[in-house]
């Protein structure tokens, strides 16, 4: 046997025996467990009292404490910080009969205490390395605070900006979304799950939660197999291929079946066809919500349906722990269902190293060293700058001059240190973001003044949790803002959504600038036209008036802890913006859902033009196209695309073609461009989108420099879930496009045969 072969065989043997040992360990433990203990592993509770204080003595909390001590809890969520995690783990490990360690889950949506840009913003960077690093450093910061499992990445494809949760995902494109899903999984889980710096990830929300009707959270989803397989599922599949350890299902029903009980999705597809060997956790209370859905007649039946549907762990419904024993006795479910779920859960705990050391993730020293470290600050600033999208820059008002200018910072969000943190930042310190004002103050050459214009107000919308909102009743600050605008050379207006205005349960029916901000903008523009509008938001907003009347618009999302520095550095030209929109920005709410990869329809037409008839697919009072399309974003420099070249106009199945352009930097600044490659399959067994992203490259060019940028076209890219319910590339014509955003028109054809 030659050496290579020997090493290969050795590797296979080692892998198999390591695998066997893991499976054997799981089996050995399972064989010692009582039925109750098994069910306990399937039960997850929320953190509910101060574990480092006195033990709870009343009601629900007492029950939960007893369950912990008796091995009836497999996981906790929202317990964080070494002190707390250690205290809870101690109960499970020292008091319960088998001492099985708990797994601690937490929503690391965009960072732990150091808050990274919201995921939608990071998606705008199109920088997979930066996104991977953001996840990996967030995992590290959370892991040293006791967390070993995150409910992220959220990989729901989203087409409707009314839905507040678009902020948590990667936007409207399944290809970009798949790459980002894999990058985040890699970032969270790393190469070694048993390292104290990596944690298990969870792809959510399985599935189709992003298609909630009318963008209203938790609403019904009704989509066909074509959309499900071609659009919704690819990022989930990418997460499985990247080795993700867990999945979370979703609140919605999908075509009449609540996702929590959907055996097709969870058993046939995920655990069957895709070979996923991790476990599935329900969403918060989603098992009991099946009663409200009108799908289960009572809690017990909801438990039965969830087990049969493939949900392995019950988050906060307390149904598994209370009902599964009886369901088993009644033979509604069988022991194989329970054993399978428990094995999946135990396996992940073994892989995390928790059986070797239940306190692996509890190290006070590391917690002190790593929380908020410089490494986190730098990575945060880096990805924040990359996430900014320049939407408009007329008369090169940007970048701003660094000296001798009077600059007025106006708007409720200009000095706000809370909103840039966005939603889903449970472990963040309130008011800890660098504000735009602070970012500007760190440059010394200009005179900076500030006026709020529209005030902020503290509210407690859910009865216990305070947040800063933009007031909708008080206009008294507008006069002061106008007076300031009159005196300065340039106005930087910082407007948009307050941090909690997007996120879970934050659907909006209007997508304009909230409150009196539009009025403020128009009044300021009357007295000073030199305005740079910086928009902070968790979702696409409608910016029609600004796009017509304001010379520069910068999309700055909710950029996290380093927000103000990132924005100031971009506005002053120390960083040349390169972000591209991951979601279309609509012209009006009536266009929603709006997305670039739509179908042609039987009556397509030229956008906004008079077709000489009304009988084509359009609005009588609005264009079909978005204000800013998917993939759109400017730079301080300009790029010129040469005509597209194709290496051949025929491609045999199994073969490949090369598509290329030459990209020239014709402007004055060094800059980066995300060159995008799209394909259209204009005629197929099931209708196909008018364009689909199939590749992109980030190219950096000096002024005057030209580079060839090429993409390989393969059969794999042409496959889709077709009318025969198979992933196939169908012979015939295809069009290829290469351009700077999804509205690119120039195309070349080839035949697949
Ligand atoms: C959300 C999930 C989240 C869970 C735990 C639910 O309300 O839908 O995305 O992971 O809460 O916080």
- pTM score, whole prediction: 0.96
Task: Name the DSSP letter for residue 265.
Answer: I
Q: Could you tell me if 338 and 398 lie in one domain?
A: no
Classify residue 590: in a domain, yes or no. Answer: no
**How far does CA 324 lie from the centroid of its chain?**
34
Q: Is the peptide bond before 637 cis (omega within 30 degrees of 0)?
A: no
CB 568 within 8 A of CB 436: yes
Banded pLDDT at 60 (limits 50, 70, 90): confident
Distance from C-alpha of 424 to C-alpha of 505, rounded to nearest angstrom: 12
**Mind listing the pLDDT tens digit for each residue in 183-225?**
999 999 999 999 999 999 999 999 999 999 999 999 999 999 9
CA of 395 to the centre of ligand 1 (A): 45
CA of 46 to the centre of ligand 1 (A): 11
Question: Of ligand 1's atoms, which has the minimum distance to the CA of residue 202?
Answer: 10
Q: What is the pLDDT of residue 51?
A: 62
User: Distances from the Cα of 581 to the Cαs of 425, 544, 566, 699, in angstroms?
Assistant: 23, 16, 17, 17
Q: What is the pLDDT of residue 609?
A: 74
Domain range enclosing 438: 389-578
CB 539 within 8 A of CB 197: no
Residue-wise DSSP of 17-64: HHHHHHHHHHHHHHHH--HHHHHHHTEEEE--S-TTSSPP-SHHHHHH
Where a domain ends, among 540, 558, 578? Answer: 578
Which strand (E) or helix (H) includes residue 408? strand 406-410
Q: Could you tell me if 156 and 20 lie in one domain?
A: yes
Classify residue 583: in a domain, yes or no. Answer: no
**Mind listing the pLDDT tens digit for each residue in 73-126?**
999 999 999 999 999 999 999 999 999 999 999 999 999 999 999 999 999 999
Q: Which residue, judged by its Cα, is nearest atom 5 of ligand 1?
A: 284
Banded pLDDT at 6 (limits 50, 70, 90): very low
Mean pLDDT of 350-378: 97
CA of 285 to the centre of ligand 1 (A): 9
Across the chain, mean pLDDT equals 95
**Mind listing the pLDDT tens digit for each residue in 464-495?**
778 899 999 999 999 999 999 999 999 999 99
Distance from C-alpha of 101 to C-alpha of 446, rounded to nearest angstrom: 57
| Nearest by Cα to 592 from 140, 122, 166 | 166
CA of 544 to the centre of ligand 1 (A): 34
Q: Which residue, judged by its Cα, is nearest atom 2 of ligand 1?
A: 283
Q: Could you tell me if 440 and 336 lie in one domain?
A: no
Distance from C-alpha of 397 to C-alpha of 405, rounded to nearest angstrom: 13
CA of 750 to the centre of ligand 1 (A): 46
- 62: helix, strand or coil: helix
Mutate to test the pocket of ligand 1, among 208, 283, 316, 507 (most ligand atoms within 8 A of CB): 283
Classify residue 296: in a domain, yes or no. Answer: yes
CA of 249 to the centre of ligand 1 (A): 10
Classify residue 627: in a domain, yes or no. Answer: no
Please give the tally of structural domains in the chain: 3
Classify residue 101: in a domain, yes or no. Answer: yes
Question: Of ligand 1's atoms, which has the minimum distance to the CA of residue 151?
Answer: 10
pLDDT over 90 (residue 62): no
Active site residue 607: no
Q: Could you tell me if 674 and 547 lie in one domain?
A: no
Distance from C-alpha of 150 to C-alpha of 142, rounded to nearest angstrom: 9
Banded pLDDT at 16 (limits 50, 70, 90): low
CB 2 within 8 A of CB 273: no
Ligand 1 and 204: CB distance under 6 A: yes
Ligand 1 and 107: CB distance under 6 A: yes
Pairing verdict, β 456-459 and 447-451: unpaired
Q: Which residue, judged by its Cα, is nearest atom 7 of ligand 1?
A: 284
Ligand 1 and 283: CB distance under 6 A: yes
User: Distances from the Cα of 200 to the Cαs of 41, 114, 259, 575, in angstroms?
Assistant: 17, 19, 22, 34
Q: Say which CATH number the domain at 104 has.
A: 3.20.20.300
**Mind listing the pLDDT tens digit for each residue in 552-574?**
999 999 999 999 999 999 999 99
Q: What is the pLDDT of residue 613?
A: 85
**How far does CA 464 lie from the centroid of its chain?**
26
Mutate to test the pocket of ligand 1, among 147, 151, 206, 212 (most ligand atoms within 8 A of CB): 151
- 19: helix, strand or coil: helix
Question: Of ligand 1's atoms, which has the minimum distance to the CA of residue 152?
Answer: 10
Task: Name the DSSP letter for residue 117.
Answer: P
CB 413 within 8 A of CB 498: yes
Q: Say which CATH number the domain at 729 has.
A: 2.60.40.10
Distance from C-alpha of 259 to C-alpha of 683, rounded to nearest angstrom: 33
Q: Could you tell me if 564 and 642 lie in one domain?
A: no
**How far does CA 17 lie from the centroid of its chain?**
37
Classify residue 623: in a domain, yes or no. Answer: no
Q: Could you tell me if 36 and 69 lie in one domain?
A: yes
Q: Could you tell me if 542 and 469 lie in one domain?
A: yes
Ligand 1 and 585: CB distance under 6 A: no
Classify residue 629: in a domain, yes or no. Answer: no
Residue 700's beta-bridge partner residues?
672
Classify residue 192: in a domain, yes or no. Answer: yes
Q: Could you say which of 107, 173, 283, 681 is catalytic?
A: 283
Ligand 1 and 316: CB distance under 6 A: no
């Amino acid at each position: 046997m030659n050496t290579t072969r020997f090493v290969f065989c050795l590797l296979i043997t080692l892998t198999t025996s390591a695998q066997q040992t893991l499976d054997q360990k799981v089996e050995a433990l399972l064989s010692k467990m009582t039925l109750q203990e098994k069910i306990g592993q399937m039960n997850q509770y929320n953190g509910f009292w101060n574990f480092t204080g006195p033990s709870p003595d009343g009601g629900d909390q007492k029950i939960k404490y007893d369950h912990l001590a008796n091995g009836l809890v497999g996981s906790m969520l929202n317990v964080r910080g070494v002190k707390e995690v250690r205290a809870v783990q101690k109960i499970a490990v020292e008091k319960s009969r088998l001492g099985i360690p708990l797994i601690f889950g937490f929503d690391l949506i965009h960072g732990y205490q150091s808050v990274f840009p919201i995921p939608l913003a990071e998606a705008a960077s199109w920088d997979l390395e930066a996104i991977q690093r953001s996840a990996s450093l967030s995992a590290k910061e959370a892991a040293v605070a006791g967390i070993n499992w995150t409910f992220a990445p959220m990989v729901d494809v989203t087409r409707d900006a009314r839905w507040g949760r678009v902020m948590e995902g990667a936007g409207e494109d399944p290809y970009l979304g798949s790459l980002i899903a894999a990058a985040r999984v890699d970032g969270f889980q790393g190469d070694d799950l048993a390292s104290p710096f990596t944690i298990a990830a969870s792809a959510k929300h399985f599935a189709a939660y992003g298609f909630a009707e009318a963008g209203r959270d938790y609403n019904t989803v009704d989509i066909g197999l074509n959309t499900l397989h071609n659009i919704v599922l690819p990022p989930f599949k990418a997460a499985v291929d990247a080795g993700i350890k867990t999945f979370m299902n979703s609140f919605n029903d999908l075509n009449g079946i609540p996702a929590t009980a959907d055996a097709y999705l969870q058993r046939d597809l995920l655990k069957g066809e895709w070979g996923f060997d991790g476990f599935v956790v329900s969403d918060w209370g989603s098992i009991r919500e099946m009663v409200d859905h009108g799908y289960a007649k009572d809690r017990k039946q909801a438990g039965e349906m969830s087990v049969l549907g493939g949900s392995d762990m019950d988050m906060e419904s307390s149904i598994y722990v209370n009902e599964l024993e009886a369901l088993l006795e009644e033979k509604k479910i069988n022991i194989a269902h329970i054993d399978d779920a428990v094995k999946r859960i135990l396996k992940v705990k073994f892989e995390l190293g928790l059986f070797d050391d239940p306190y692996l993730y509890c190290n006070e020293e590391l917690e002190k060293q790593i929380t908020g470290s410089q490494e986190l600050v730098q990575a945060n600033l880096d990805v924040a700058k990359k996430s900014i999208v320049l939407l408009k820059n007329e008369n090169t008002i940007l970048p701003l001059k660094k000296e001798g200018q009077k600059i007025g910072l106006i708007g409720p969000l200009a000095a706000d240190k809370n909103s840039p943190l966005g939603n889903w930042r449970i472990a963040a310190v309130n008011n800890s973001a660098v504000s735009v004002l602070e970012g500007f103050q760190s440059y010394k050459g200009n005179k900076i003044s500030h006026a709020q214009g529209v005030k902020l107000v503290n509210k407690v919308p859910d009865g216990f949790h305070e947040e800063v909102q933009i007031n909708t009743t008080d206009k008294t600050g507008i006069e002061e803002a106008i007076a300031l605008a009159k005196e300065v050379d340039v106005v930087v207006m910082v407007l948009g959504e307050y941090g909690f205005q997007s996120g879970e349960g934050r659907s909006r029916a209007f997508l304009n600038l909230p409150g009196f901000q539009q009025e403020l903008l128009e009044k300021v523009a009357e007295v000073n036209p030199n305005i740079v509008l910086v928009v902070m938001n968790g979702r696409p907003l409608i910016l029609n008036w600004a796009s017509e009347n304001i010379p520069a618009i910068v999309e700055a999302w909710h950029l996290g802890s380093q927000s103000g520095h990132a924005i100031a550095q971009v506005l002053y030209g120390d960083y040349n913006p390169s972000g591209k929109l991951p979601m279309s920005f609509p012209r009006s709410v009536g266009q929603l859902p709006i997305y670039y990869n739509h179908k042609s329809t039987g009556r397509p037409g030229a956008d906004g033009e008079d077709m000489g008839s009304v009988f084509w697919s359009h609005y009588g009072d609005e264009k079909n196209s978005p204000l800013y399309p998917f993939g759109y974003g400017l730079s301080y420099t300009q790029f010129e695309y040469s005509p597209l070249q194709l290496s051949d106009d025929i491609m045999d199945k199994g073969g490949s073609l090369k598509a290329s352009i030459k990209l020239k930097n014709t402007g004055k600044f060094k800059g980066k461009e995300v060159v995008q490659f799209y394909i259209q399959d204009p005629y197929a067994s099931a209708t196909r989108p008018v364009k689909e992203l199939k590749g992109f490259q980030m190219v950096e060019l000096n002024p005057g420099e030209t580079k060839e940028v090429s993409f390989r076209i393969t059969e794999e890219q042409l496959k889709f879930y077709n009318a025969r319910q198979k992933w196939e590339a169908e012979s015939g014509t295809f069009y290829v496009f290469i351009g700077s955003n999804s509205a690119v028109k120039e195309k070349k054809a080839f035949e697949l045969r």
